[in-house]
Amino acid sequence: MNEVTLYILQFPREVQVILNKIREIILSQAPEIEEHIAYGMPAYKLNKKPLIYYAAFKNHIGLYASPSGHEAFREKLSKYKQGKGSVQFPFNQPIPFDLILELVRFKVKENKKLL
């Protein structure tokens, strides 16, 4: 088992389902994405540059797509609590997997210098 799998397994089953779905979204976008743990959470690199991080907390999932990802999706993320490079998806609302996919696709293109 790798570190990310162990990270996910420490949470209740319903949170594991969400974390695994986010993981699948990220890994599906580029075969060369590197997966590891950084800052105590699942972290992904592409072309040796940070791509995206995510973490589970008591009441939400935190997603960290650096300031550029959050800036590009400012309007779509506006209904969620945010920091400079973070957004919180509360468990009491549906997790916006389609939006997460859009964000990941944006970051992949950015990291591949296609934007």
pTM: 0.93
Domain boundaries, the chain: 3-111
CATH topology of domain 3-111: Aspartate Aminotransferase, domain 1 (3.90.1150)
Summarize pLDDT for 49-107 with one digit per residue, the tens: 899 999 999 999 999 988 888 888 999 999 999 987 899 999 999 999 999 999 999 99
Q: CA angle, corner 107, sides to 105 and 111, nearest 5?
A: 120
The 3-state secondary structure of 33-67 reads: CEEEEECCEEEEEECCEEEEEEEECCCEEEEECHH
Summarize pLDDT for 80-89 with one digit per residue, the tens: 999 878 999 9
Average pLDDT, the chain: 93
21 has pLDDT over 90:
yes
Nearest in space to 69 (alpha carbons), one of 94, 93, 44: 44
